């Protein structure tokens, strides 16, 4: 049995509620962070709960590697499954301190191998909080404690159920680097649930799309998230492009990072938490992309990506059209006025330059 087989999650499960049926039949090869993405009410949390064994009413089969977690004749209870579950509402125990919550997990794990107490504490910067009462913590702090507590169970599969959904933007920014660093530091395969494209782009390597209780798509994050039907934002005006890039070098003095996008280089604000040579994803809004037909001069924008115009889709009853540009095989979307499209003489196949301000690559949420 190879290691990769052990990280295969086979799901054949069905759970019906009045007015909603979750029906999933899928083998998922778990590698890095798998995003579970889809609209609210699509069954994401329910599927996660089934994997964790928290939905006893679910029928079907759940296998993790060669372990049977659930079948028609058996059901391994939650407390025997090697999963770590991070709840949106943290579910810290209010009768225990931060340290007490962490020790709760430590005292119950099967063996002493794996994540050490000090390691979990330092990875989430919890040292100053250890003796605090959990009711005295901020939302972000609570979630860091919950993640550390989960790590201390030595999970072989991490399940993160919208861990940032209950946090305001400031708190999200505070906790995101911790979540992002989890994979690198501990290497535990994770399933991350969210309905936010930007969280998915930043955190997930592969994305499963769950809509109306069914899996409708599965693939590499950039491929899935760039599909127009996958952008769950309310309006096409919020269209975004997820660019898969390779980190070339960090220019620390300038607080910039140079990345390779399909053989062309661009410079973006320092991507803290990434190492040179690794692949990362950048998110850029179509409204932040400028299209030129020739190389501009005397312009502050430094990032120019040369490509061919792939398509022009007018947005109904508006001044705008979404223009897709093929840059070395990857597509970048720009939002232009119909007037600009006409005056620049843009047609399918035109050679164009996509200009993107460094400031548009906002890695914050």
Partner 1 sequence: MSINAMPDLGPLWLSLTLAGVTSLILLFLGTPLAWWLSGTSSRFKPAIEAVTALPLVLPPTVLGFYFLIALGPASPIGSFWVRITGEALTFSFSGLVIASVFYSLPFMVQPLQNAFESVGRAPLEAAATLRAGPIDSFFSVAAPLARRGFITGTVLSFAHTIGEFGVVLMVGGNIPGKTRVISIAIYEHVETLNYEAAHILSAGLIVFSFIVLLFVYGSRRWNPIYVR
Q: Which residues bind partner 1 (CB under 8 A)?
A: 52-54, 77-80, 83-85, 87, 89, 91-95, 104-105, 108-110, 135, 149-150, 153
CB nearer to partner 1: give 117 or 265: 117
Tokens of 123: 């990875």
Measuring CA to CA, which residue among 205, 181, 178 is closest to residue 191?
205
**Which parts of the chain are beta strand (E)?**
8-17, 20-29, 33-37, 59-64, 67-70, 83-86, 157-161, 190-194, 206-211, 214-220, 240-251, 256-261, 264-269, 279-285, 289-292, 303-314, 320-327, 330-337, 351-356
Residue 156 CB, nearest approach to partner 1 (Å): 13
Query: What is the full DSSP assignment across 64-97?
Result: ETTEEEE-SS-B--GGGS-EEEE-TT----TTSB
Residue 108 CB, nearest approach to partner 1 (Å): 4
How far is residue 226's CA from residue 205's CA, in Å, rounded to a whole number?
14
Residue 104 CB, nearest approach to partner 1 (Å): 6
CB nearer to partner 1: give 73 or 79: 79
Q: 353 with 304: CB under 8 angstroms?
A: yes
Residue 302 CB, nearest approach to partner 1 (Å): 47
Give every CB contact of residue 110 below 8 A, 6+ residues apart in sequence. 154
CB nearer to partner 1: give 160 or 341: 160
Residue 14 CB, nearest approach to partner 1 (Å): 21
How far is residue 312's CA from residue 161's CA, in Å, rounded to a whole number?
37
Measuring CA to CA, which residue among 13, 16, 58, 8 is closest to residue 215?
13
CB nearer to partner 1: give 94 or 298: 94
CB nearer to partner 1: give 22 or 289: 22
CB nearer to partner 1: give 78 or 262: 78
CB nearer to partner 1: give 87 or 178: 87
DSSP strand pairing (33-37 vs 190-194): parallel
Residue 322 CB, nearest approach to partner 1 (Å): 43
CB nearer to partner 1: give 149 or 195: 149
Residue 9 CB, nearest approach to partner 1 (Å): 16
Which DSSP symbol is given to 149?
Answer: H
Residue 144 CB, nearest approach to partner 1 (Å): 16
Q: 155 with 82: CB under 8 angstroms?
A: yes
């Amino acid at each position: 049995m190879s290691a990769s087989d052990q990280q295969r999650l086979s799901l054949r499960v069905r759970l019906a509620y009045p007015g909603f049926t979750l029906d999933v039949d899928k083998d998922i090869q778990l590698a890095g962070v798998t995003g579970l993405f889809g609209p609210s009410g699509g069954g994401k949390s329910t599927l996660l709960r089934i994997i964790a064994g928290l939905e006893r009413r679910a029928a079907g089969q759940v296998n993790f590697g060669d372990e049977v977690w659930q079948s028609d004749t058996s059901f391994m209870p939650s407390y025997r499954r090697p999963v770590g579950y991070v709840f949106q509402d943290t579910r810290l125990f209010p009768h225990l301190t931060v340290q007490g919550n962490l020790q709760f997990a430590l005292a119950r794990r099967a063996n002493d191998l794996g994540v050490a107490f000090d390691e979990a504490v330092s990875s989430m910067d919890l040292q100053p909080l250890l003796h605090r009462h959990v009711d005295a913590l901020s939302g972000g702090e609570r979630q860091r404690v919950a993640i550390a507590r989960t790590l201390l169970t030595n999970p072989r599969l991490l399940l993160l159920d919208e861990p940032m959904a209950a946090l305001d933007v400031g708190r999200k920014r505070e906790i995101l680097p911790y979540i992002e660093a989890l994979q690198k530091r501990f290497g535990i395969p994770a399933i991350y649930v969210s309905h936010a494209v930007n969280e998915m782009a930043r955190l997930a390597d592969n994305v499963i799309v769950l809509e109306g209780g069914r899996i409708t798509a599965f693939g590499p994050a950039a491929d899935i998230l760039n599909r127009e039907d996958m952008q769950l934002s309310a309006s096409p005006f919020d269209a975004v492009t997820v660019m898969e890039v390779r980190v070339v070098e960090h220019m620390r003095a300038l607080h910039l990072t140079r990345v390779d996008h399909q053989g062309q280089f661009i410079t973006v604000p320092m991507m803290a938490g990434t190492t040179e040579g690794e692949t990362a994803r950048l998110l850029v809004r179509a409204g932040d992309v400028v299209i030129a037909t020739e190389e501009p001069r005397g312009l502050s924008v430094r990032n120019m990506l040369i490509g061919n115009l792939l398509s022009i889709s007018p947005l109904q009853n508006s001044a705008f059209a979404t223009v897709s540009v093929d840059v070395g095989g990857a597509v970048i979307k720009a939002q232009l006025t119909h007037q600009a499209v006409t005056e620049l003489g843009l047609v399918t196949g035109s050679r164009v330059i996509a200009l993107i301000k460094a400031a548009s690559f906002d890695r914050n949420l």
